[in-house]
Amino acid sequence: MSFFDRFKKKGKEAAPKAAAAKPAKKESKPPAQGAACYTKSPESIAAAQLKMADLGDLLPGAPPNGKINLAIYWAAACGGCDVSILDINERILTVGDIANVVMWPIAADGKEHDIAEMEDGSITVSIISGAVRNTENEHMVKLLRKKSLIVVSYGACACFGGSPALANLVPGGKDEILEYAYNKVPTTANFQADYHKGEPVLPQVEYKAPEGVLTLPMLFDTVKTLDQVIDVDYYVPGCPPLQESISHLLKAVADFAYKGIALPPKGTNIGVVAKTLCEQCPRRKENRRITRIVEPHEIDVDPELCLMDQGMLCLGPATVGGCNAKCTRVGQPCRGCYGPTAAVQEHGASAMTAIASLFPVLDDDATMGEDKIIDIMSTVKDPLGYFYAFTMGKSLIKKSVVEKGGK
C-alpha cells in the first residue's frame, strides 16, 4: 500500500473535526531540520518584499529601433494568465507603442499560418502560458520557439505543469479521462444514452465529413511543462503571476527595447526573490506542534499567528517568495503557486517534510504514534492534489499505477 493510499483509506474512517488548533503544552522547541521556523523582524520582512519595478512614466512612444514583435499564446491554460497581463494597469494602453502584437488568441486575431509565414527569429518575445497537453499546444510552442528570439514561460502551468499536470496521475491516461468526461459524468452519460443509443461517441482526432476531413488535437497521456518541450529563456511563475512580477518582466523588455540594456541571464526566474515565502509573510511563527489539521473556514483564524501554527497546511516554507505572501496575509494558506525555492527539487514532498517536522514526534516529545499521524493526515482529502497543486509536471512522480487487484 502506498504512502498516499494509507492516507486515503484512513480518511474514510477519520472524520475531520472542526476545532481550532491549540498551542502545544510544552514550550516551543528550536526548529527541527527542514522546519519552517526562524526569527522574523518587521525589518527582515520588509527587506524580503518584492517591490514593483520602477517603470518611470508611461512608456515613451516607439523604441528608437522601431517596435518589437510580441506574441502572447496560451497552451493548456485557463486564461487567467492572459488576464493578469492587464495588471500593468494604464501601461496596457502603451503596449501598442512598444510592440506589434503579432498573436494573442484571447484578445486579437492572428492565425497559425500568419506566424508560420514570418521569418525565423522575427518575433522578439513570445510569452507563453499553460502546460503542453495536446498536439496543437506542442505544434504552436515549437513554432513560436522557432520564430522567437526570447521565450518566456509565463505562469505556474507553463513553468511547473500547474493543475493540468494533475492529469498525469490518472492511471489510464487520456483514454480514461475521455471515457470519464464523455461517458461517465451524469450529464454526458445521459446525452450519450439519449442521442447515441448505447453507442457512445468520444472525441476523435479525425472525422471525414462530406466537405472534407476535420481534425482535432490529440491529447497526450503525459502533460508537460513548457521547458520539457522547447528551450525557454525566462520563467515568470505564479497562478497567475502577480503585478510585482509582471512589472519586472515589462521593465526587462522595455529596458532592452528602449535603452539596449542587456536582458537578464538566460534561465532567470523573473519576479521571485531569493527567500522563502515564510520570510515575506508577516505572520508570527511560534512553532506550535500540529495535532490536528484544519481548513480556514473551520476556525476563527488568528490574524497574526502563522497559519501552520493554527493547524493549516501552508506550503510557505517550501515556496519561493515573490508574491509578497498575498494569500497568507488574508488568512489563506499558501498553495505554492510560485513554485519551489532554488534549494528544493520536489516541492510537495519538501512541504510535507516541513509540516511533518511540526508533529510532536521528536524523541523527547514522543506523544504521537504513527497511527495518530496517519489519522491526522487522513483529513487531507487529496494529498497529492494538495501538495502538488501546481508542480506535478516537475515532480519525480511521473505516473500513478493501480496495484494488482486494485480498483
Positions 317 through 346 that interact with ligand SF4 (CB under 6 A): 317, 319, 323, 325-328, 334-338
* Residues between 205 and 224 with contacts to ligand SF4, criterion CB under 6 A: none
Give the binding range for ligand SF4 (CB under 6 A) out of 48-56, 75-83, 185-193, 195-203.
Answer: 75-83
Bridge-based pairing state of the strands 132-134 and 219-224: antiparallel
**Does 78 help bind ligand SF4 (rule: CB under 6 A)?**
yes
DSSP secondary structure, 112-157, as one string: HHHHHTSPTT-EEEEEEESBEEEHHHHHHHHHHHHHEEEEEEESHH
Q: Are 383 and 376 within 8 A, CB to CB?
A: no
201-207, Cβ contacts within 8 angstroms, sequence gap of 24 or more? 202/178, 203/178
CB 294 to ligand SF4: min, Å: 13
Do residues 311 and 290 lie in contact, with contact meaning Cβ atoms separated by under 8 Å? yes
Of residues 314, 352, 377, 380, which one binds ligand SF4 by CB under 6 A? 314
Between 240 and 383, whose beta carbon lies closer to ligand SF4?
A: 240
CB of 242 to ligand SF4, least distance (A): 7
What are 264-268's contacts with CB under 8 Å, separation 24+?
Answer: 264/234, 266/233, 266/234, 267/233, 267/234, 267/235, 268/234, 268/235
* Closest residue to bound ligand SF4 by CB: 316
Q: Which of 341, 343, 317 is nearest to 328 (CA)?
A: 317
For ligand SF4, the closer CB: 115 or 156: 156
Q: How many CB atoms lie within 10 A of CB 104?
A: 18
Residue with cell 515575506: 280
Pick the stretch among 144-152, 220-228, 267-275, 311-319 that binds ligand SF4 (CB under 6 A).
Answer: 311-319
Residue closer to ligand SF4, measured from CB, 145 or 283: 283
123-154 in b/e form (b: 16+ CB < 10 A) is: bbbbbbbbbbbbebbbebbebbbebbbbbbbb
Residue 286 CB, nearest approach to ligand SF4 (Å) = 10
Q: Which is nearer to ligand SF4, 256 or 338 (CB)?
A: 338
* Host H or E run for residue 71: strand 68-74
- Distance in Å, CB of 384 to ligand SF4, minimum: 17
Closest contact distance (angstroms) between CB of 116 and ligand SF4 is: 24
User: Considering only residues 11, 63, 161, 240, which one is a binding residue for ligand SF4 as defined by CB under 6 A?
Assistant: 240
How many positions of this chain bind ligand SF4 (CB under 6 A)?
36
Determine the interface stretch with ligand SF4 among 50-58, 156-164, 181-189, 250-258 (rule: CB under 6 A): 156-164
Measured in degrees and rounded to the nearest 5, phi and psi for residue 84 equal -60, -25
Q: What is the closest distance, in whole angstroms, from the C-beta atom of residue 159 to ligand SF4 in the complex? A: 8
Query: Minimum CB separation from ligand SF4 for residue 394, in Å?
Result: 14
Q: Tell the residue number behind the cell numbers 487567467, with chain if given.
A: 80
281 is a site residue for ligand SF4 (CB under 6 A): yes
**CB nearer to ligand SF4: pick between 235 and 256:** 235
Q: Which residues contact 218 (CB under 8 A, 6 or more apart)?
A: 134, 135, 205
Contact status: 347 vs ligand SF4 (CB under 6 A) = no
Residue with cell 476545532: 19
* 104 is a contact residue toward ligand SF4 (CB under 6 A): no
98 lies in the binding site for ligand SF4 (CB under 6 A): no
263 secondary structure, DSSP code:
P
Is the separation of the CB atoms in 165 and 225 below 8 Å?
Answer: yes
Q: Which positions lie near ligand SF4, rule CB under 6 A?
A: 36, 77-78, 80-81, 129-130, 155-157, 162-163, 239-240, 277-278, 281, 283, 285, 306-308, 314, 316-317, 319, 323, 325-328, 334-338
